[in-house]
Amino acid sequence: MKKLKQQGILLRDQPLDEDAVVVIGDIHGCAHGLRQLLSEVINTGCTLVFVGDLIDRGEEGGAVLSLVHDLHTDPEKWGLSAVHVLRGNHEQMLLDAKRQVDRGIPTIGGDYRLWRMNGGQLEDFEHAENYGLWGWLESLPLYYEHSSPVSWEGEMLTLLVTHASVTPGLALNEQDPEVLYWDRHINGYSTKHLTVHGHTIQKNGKPMIYDTPTGKVVRLDTGSYYTGVITGVTFTPD
């Protein structure tokens, strides 16, 4: 099989600085594309947010885990203000598979089989095991809400990032986790929010923008292992 050419594309309309937030879509083990994208953001002082699904399907999930873990735990080393990493459904499936293994349940079925059926890579499991990343993966939150408004189409809106979807209007700490990392409905959180999701592939390799009754939505999963494209979108106060 011909190896997929990977691209990391950063969408922005002005230079990055400490007020900018860059949200990065699903990576799925495509380390080369991620490195390409990161080359445009390191030493800019911006904030990074990963929507989740760092692993599975692609061949370099371990490299992606190590890189993102390092970014998250020491953003200053990379010249960044902060790095936030969300737990996607693939991180959740990996954790569920790990729990099954720990309980001594045969891996021919259950959560372990579900993870493998969805592109789970044994190398990713072994990497998490060898580098002690289970606690870090467990600690990853399911949403990120930025502390200051960003500008979008002439409005100042609160940036909210989840992996998959959100239930409009329901308090964030009361959201169903499976909606946040599995659901595919195109839902804005509120008309005062700009809601960004990954999870559902935009097969043309470009982010899609939706204006819903419950607010504006950007869908940011541009395919990585399918199209070769990993996309980051920049949000600023201006």
pLDDT per residue as tens digits for the range 55-71: 999 999 999 999 999 99
Residue-range domains of the chain with CATH = 7-235 (3.60.21.10)
Distance CA 34, CA 93 (A): 22
DSSP 76-131: GGGT-SEEEE---HHHHHHHHHHHHHHTT--TTSHHHHHHHHTT--HHHHHHHHHT
Two tokens, residue 8? 């990391």
pLDDT exceeds 80 at position 94:
yes
pLDDT in tens, 159-176: 999 999 999 999 999 999
CB of 58 closer than 8 Å to CB of 29: yes
Two tokens, residue 9? 């594309």
Q: So what's the pLDDT on residue 1?
A: 40
pLDDT in tens, 203-214: 888 999 999 999
Helix (H, G, I), strand (E, B) or coil at 35: helix
CB of 137 closer than 8 Å to CB of 115: no
What is the percent of the chain where pLDDT is above 90? 95
